[in-house]
Amino acid sequence: GEDVEQSLFLSVREGDSSVINCTYTDSSSTYLYWYKQEPGAGLQLLTYIFSNMDMKQDQRLTVLLNKKDKHLSLRIADTQTGDSAIYFCAESLTGYSTLTFGKGTMLLVSP
Amino acid sequence: GAVVSQHPSRVICKSGTSVKIECRSLDFQATTMFWYRQFPKKSLMLMATSNEGSKATYEQGVEKDKFLINHASLTLSTLTVTSAHPEDSSFYICSARGGTAQPTYEQYFGPGTRLTVT
């Protein structure tokens, strides 16, 4: 199976919270990332979390990590139409290892 | 800071021709550059890793004679798709890391190049 799995699509209304989930298989993963890709563009690093943390908050973004279940989530508070994009979860063994990406979750925010 | 550009952003070429894609780190020197290929509704697939001044390391299943990578300087890497075929049509993304970027382990991604082979 895939090393990193994500649901493919999420639709929310503007102002609601969005939660995008990700599971990974490699328990050795040390760095876990969330990237955002807008249409026709490259990837923008949103945030990352080290495996020895269980939560990280950065403005409207909250990352939760359940290392036991190998589950990572990204919560976007007060979702805006500008948040519509594809969100990729990724992991790496070390900070300098190659990245393994999930297939991405398309977030659609409706007014 | 840490901006990566790609050129061209879109290219259409005829089957059998070669096309070169450039990846530049604009405000930092990158010791390592990566080339990814992205298929529709698929994750990014790492094609190769290149370190400045040395040969690229290709991932399994990627033909090194078809996808030529040159990393001649700390700010420029090129990917040449040789004898392109329609199945090579894809979105190609590069990223750069290391050198004078802070933190050195973070990959900074370019905006991607859409290649269409007719």
Q: What does the pLDDT look like over A11-70, one tens digit per residue? A: 999 999 999 999 998 888 788 999 999 987 888 999 999 888 899 999 999 999 999 999
Rounded to a whole number of angstroms, the distance from the CA of B35 to the nearest CA of chain A is: 11
Name the minimum distance, in Å, from the CA of B41 to any CA of chain A.
7
Asked if residue B39 has pLDDT above 90, the reply is: no
Select from A25, A50, A99, A106 the residue whose CB has the most chain B CBs within 10 Å, as the one to mutate to test that interface: A99
The structure tokens listed for A3 are: 């090393």
Tell me the chain B residues in contact with residue A101 when contact means C-beta distances shorter than 8 Å: 43-44
- Cβ atoms of A83 and B93 within 8 Å: the answer is no
Element (DSSP H or E) covering residue B79: strand B76-81
The percent of residues in chain B predicted with pLDDT above 70, rounded, is: 94
pLDDT at B103 over 90: no
Choose from B25, B43, B46 for mutation: most chain A CBs within 10 A.
Answer: B43
pLDDT digits (tens, 9 = 90+) for B40-72: 777 889 999 998 888 899 999 999 999 999 988
Q: What is the DSSP string of A19-83?
A: EEEEEE--TT--EEEEEEE-TT--EEEEEEEETT-SEEEETTEEEEEETTTTEEEEEESS--GGG
pLDDT band of residue A105 (cuts 50, 70, 90) is: very high
- Tokens 């900070």, residue located: A95
Give percent of chain B with pLDDT exceeding 90: 70
Nearest CA in chain B to A4: B43
Instruction: Inform me whether the pLDDT recorded for B100 exceeds 80.
Output: no
Q: Per-residue pLDDT for B27 more than 70?
A: yes
Nearest CA in chain B to A9: B41
The pLDDT, as a whole number, for residue B1 is 64
| Closest listed residue to residue B43, CA positions, set A71, A89, A28, A11 | A89
